[in-house]
Structures are given as structure tokens and as C-alpha cells.
Structure 1
Amino acid sequence: MINLNDLVFFVAAVEHGGFAPASRRLGLPKSTLSKRVAELEEALQARLIHRSSRSFTLTDVGRDFYEHARASIIEAEAAQDAVRQRVAEPSGVVRITASVPVAQDQLAPHLPRLAQRFPRLRVQLDVTDRFVDILQEGYDIAVRSHFAPLPDSELVQRRVREESIVLVASPGYLESAGEPAAPQALEQHAGLWTGSGVTRWTLAREDAEADVAQVAPPPPRLIANESQVLKAAAVAGLGIACLPESLCRQEQADGRLRRVLPGWHAGRVTTTLVMPHRRGQLPGVRATVDFLVECLGDG
């Protein structure tokens, strides 16, 4: 009978691209992993991995074995998870990664309540704007905001919400500069840009996505690749900004910002939770996902 631990070591070595990175992830000596996988090959009487000082590749048999081994581990985790759900509240460490804007604008208001709801749960949030490979780096959840659909992959994607990018300005600015009546009038105004390479603003009607206008953007008064800075500049009356609707909802409600061209939007942004796989999730991960869907789904 094959030792399930040996399957774990083999799958970890494959998914992390070698014994050295797998040993760091599992906290075990590299020599132990290499020895156990060699014993697994001996038990199976088959070569699973081509090893050399510079390469780590699966044999044809190894690729087939990996698919079944990974499925076996997932099923074992699911069986353990079924018991844990019965006997324990969500607990342990849940590792989340998010970009700086997502962390500041979406997660910061809600994570304290997550900790209060589940006292035995410990959330570890890594805030970074670099691309994160959640499978290789051992994250449970990535919270990603994106304009285009995410690429297909083996990762589980759970879309949380979709919102419009709207044009806003302060009432004081609009009183002094006038309010544009059509997208083409924007070039007569001052703009707050997200980047210096902007050449066109693409606007679409809220009630007719096929009705799109490509217009010259307002000349830039301020350029910043951070939404909070652009929002502050818009509130200060410097010009017209394109911002996610949820980010400027409070300022619109209290009168500090006003929607410009309310029948149009400048694109849509989607928030998606990305996870390694569904069946192997521990209760703490599942509870965190459900909590984020509950909070972020309200927009």
C-alpha cells in the first residue's frame, strides 16, 4: 500500500518545480523529500521524474501518476475537512494577497469584522502590486480587481462584483468650468489622469453598451496612478476624474463630488476571488471566502 505522505511529497515537488522549493514550503529537508520520492518510485517500479543538476521534469508515467496523486490528496483533504466542519469553528491561518488599492479600498474596512466574527481565525494579508503566483507561493486567496476577464487556469475563480468606472468632479469645479453635456465636450475641461500615456477616454452608455464614444481626454491637471490621490484632487476642485463607483459613493452622497455625464461610464472593473482549488479548502478559508462575498458583493 502506498504511503499517502509520499504522494504529498511527490505532488509538492511537482507543483513547486523541484525538491528545494518544495522543502522550503513543507519545512522538511530536501534530502528527505528526494529519498521518499525515490522510495515511491521503487515501490511503483517506475521512473516518475527525470532528475539532473539543472532540470526537474516528469516522465510520461509521472504525468499520469501526478494527476491521480493530486486527486487522491484532494479527496483526503475533503474527508478531513468534512470532520473538521463538524467539530470545529473556523480557525488557523488564512493567507490572502491583494494589490494596494484593493487592500485599502475594499479589504481594510471589513477585515477587523472578520477577526471579530471568528476569534480563532488568523488572517495574514500580503499587500503588493507585483504579480503573485498563489499556487507556488502558498496563498489561500487572491483578491483581484481587473478590467479584462482573467485567463482560464486550474485556479478557482469566484466573481464577487462588477461596478462602473464613473466620471466625477466637485460641484465647485463644475460651477466655474461648466458641466459637459456630451463626451466630446470633455476636452474643454481639466482632467485627472491615471497615467501619462493616456490618449483617449472610451465611454459607453449605461443603458446601451454598444453605444461607445472614443473622445480626447481633458488636458491633465494632475497625473497619479493611485485612486485615493485622484479622488482627493477631484474633491479639491482640480478637474474631472474617472473612479470606481464604490470608491466615490460617499463623496457623492455628502455632496463633495458630483457625477459628470451620468448616462455614461468609462468601463467596468470586476472583483474576483482566486483560489488554488475548491475541495481542499479548510473551514477557515471557506469562512473567509463567504465573508468577503458577503461584504464586497454589496459594492
Structure 2
Amino acid sequence: MEFLSEDNIIRKLYLPIQWLITPMFFFHVHEVVHQQRVKLWVQNALLAPVFIVTVIHIIHFFYYQGKVSVASMPDYHEDGLLLYINFISFLFHGAVLYVIFQMLKTSLETSKKIARKKNKEQKWYMTIVIFFVMIVSIGLSATFSMIQFNIDHTWLLYTVFILVSFVGYYLGYVGVYRSTLVSEFNPGPNSVSKNGLNTYQKIHSYIIEERCYLDMDLNLSEIAQKFNISSGYLSQLISTHSEQSFNDYINELRIQTSKKMLLSNQFEEYTIESIGLECGFKSKSNFYTAFKKFTGLTPTAYVKSTKKRPVS
């Protein structure tokens, strides 16, 4: 076939689609476990390598195009830049798989009161992670041997690619079936509204009484672990009963406290920035942004409008 011929440009260009495999798996697992999308900066960090490597491959192709024929260009399994990139790709996949493993491990440890089907789902993901680790180990061994000892392990790399294809088809076929279980163990808004009010009230009382919201490092998983529920379920509870995201819910409590501090003689020696830090905000800009969002005023304008105290 012409497509498989040695002088086919597409074959020699080597678009590194394999760099997307574990990031996409991470996005899926994260959304199932935490019931929220991955933060934008994390998405960019995981997807950036495929674009960087694509540019490198294109530059590599056009560098050789003017010097040798297409058929004579280096293959991905020959000693050179492409082989080193393949080795780095296996290291990258290993790192992403480790993060996925830790995420699943933490979730399983804190999901004793969650439906059994959810545990089964996460254990299935663990199986996929283990299988991926085996593939990555084979790939690392093969590429390292080729780089370090110039041993021809091309057949091993072909085995890796076949295994990756098998896993891809398996995830596509079985994953579609398994994903239908998500709706069964992730309670919807109506279920949360009916059955989660008492839990929400306990959590809300705990956050208020312990003044947890003043901790600038407070996060969703910390509260979820305290009450032995998943981060996704806690997020749904807060969204349903406060009609806010977790961050807005916590920030509003912080702003309520900061308003009292701004007008209190006890804190008149504090600067506005210091009050923001005392209330759990990590920076002056974060404090001002949140204050304006919930009051419509900056802290300075709020103090002036009340005429209770001079601005520091």
C-alpha cells in the first residue's frame, strides 16, 4: 500500500498523538472522582507537551527533507532525536499515571460510605492504571536499551504500540458501559436536596463554629475527608443548598468576617491588606476581588461609606 511505503510523508512525520493518552485518561478519572472539571492550568500543563513535541517533529522533518529523501529520514526507533523523545514520552506517561494512582488511592480511602458501585468503578480504573504501567515499563526498557546499548528492540516497541491500541479499544468499548454507572452512584441535585440537607447543615455548622474558612489553605477535599464523603458529593451539597460553588461559599463567609473587622475598633491598627490575610485570603488582590463581588464596593469604599473608622 502507498500509505505504508517508505517515502510516505505522513509515515515519516510522526505526529505524537500518543502523548494525549494518559492526559485524556486523567481528565476522565478526575471528573468521575471529583465531579468537577480539571483546572485550566492543569489542562494546559498536561496538553502542552503534545504541542511542543509536534512542533519539534515538524522541525525535525523539514530539517531532513532538504538533505535526504523521505525514505532515508530517521525512524522513531533509530538512534537520534525521535528515539529520545519516545523515551521522554514514556517518562511523561509514568508521571501522569502516578498522579492518577494517587488520586484514586485517596478517593478509595475516603469513600467508605459511598455506594459500592463507585468503589467498583474506581478499582476498575486502578486495573487500567496497572496495565498502563506495564506498557510504560516495557517502553522504557526498550528505548533505554536502544539508546544506551544500541540494541535493536524494534519488535518491543511494536508490541507496546499494539498494547496501547488494545487498551484504547478496551477503554472505548468497556468504558462506555461503565460510564453508565456514574449516574447511579453520583447523586443528582434532587437526591442531594432530599437526603443531604442534614449533612450539609452539619458541615455548615462545623465550618462556622471552627472558623475553618479563615484557613487560607482550606480546600474541598479537606472538608470531605473530615466527614468521610467524596469531594464531588460535598461540592453538590454546597451547590444545592447554598447555590454557590465551594470557593464562593467560603469566600462569602470570609467577606462577612472582614466587614466586621473593618468596622471594629479592635482592628483599627490593621491595614486593609492585613485584614484580608487574617480572613483567609492569600493576597490583597484576591481580597479586593472577592469583596467587590459580594458587596459591590472595594474595602476602602465600604469603610468610607460607613464613616465608622479611618482607612489605614
> Where is the helix percentage greater, Structure 1 or Structure 2?
2
Q: Structures share a fold, TM > 0.5? A: no
Q: Which has the higher contact order (CA 8 A, sep 6+)?
A: 1
Larger radius of gyration: 2
TM-score by length of 1: 0.24
